[in-house]
Amino acid sequence: MYAWLWRRLPGRTAGKAAGMITLALAVVALLWFVVFPWLTPRLPLDQVMPGAGSGSCHHAVRTGQSC
């Protein structure tokens, strides 16, 4: 993929490097300002259930208790 982009960008090495950096920054900005804010309310990242799942058993094993 990177070789394909490198061949498609116009100019010499310095111009192509600047173009690749610009494209990378544009993708990061698109993700940061558009995709992630749109996706955040749709992900259950804030729904934590204490004492449920593998974390509680892991703690019990570390302290010598049974699960």
Contact 20, 6 (CB under 8 A): yes
Query: Residue 56's domain spans which residues?
Result: 2-63
Total number of domains in the chain: 1
Q: What local confidence, expressed as pLDDT, does residue 65 receive?
A: 63
pLDDT confidence of residue 5: 86
DSSP annotation of 35 reads I
| CA angle, residues 6, 10, 16, in degrees to nearest 5 | 50
What is the pTM assigned to this prediction? 0.60
Digitized pLDDT (tens) for each residue of the chain, 67 residues in all: 789 988 888 899 999 999 999 999 999 999 999 999 999 888 887 777 676 555 555 555 556 666 5
**Going by C-beta distance under 8 Å and a sequence separation of 6 or more, which residues neighbour residue 61?**
67
